[in-house]
Amino acid sequence: MGDVRVAAGLDRLPWLADEPQTRALPRRRRMWPLWLAAGLVALIVIAGAAYWLGTRSSPVEQPRAAIADRVPVTVPLPAPVMPSPLP
């Protein structure tokens, strides 16, 4: 009978006076609104930069001399062939 063990955790009876009081953990602040706002701001900045770059860049144009030197070409089409009627 010399073997005495301490009952801890769920083995304890909650109405006993020597029951240790658990401290409430500090409540974590929710950070998802901050991350959502930061993501939206980043999206707006990226979209604005893409729009700005798109309006400022010009497509590569051919020189006017190369366009003026082209001669229109007419390609003759083959004669039309009428299909034979089905038997």
- Reported as a single tens digit per residue, the pLDDT across 57-80 is 766 665 666 566 677 889 999 999
Q: What is the pLDDT of residues 12-23, one digit of tens each?
A: 666 666 656 677
| Number of helices and strands in the chain (H, E) | 2, 0
Give the contacts of 12 (CB within 8 A, at least 6 positions apart).
19
Q: What is the DSSP letter of 18?
A: T
pTM for the model: 0.39
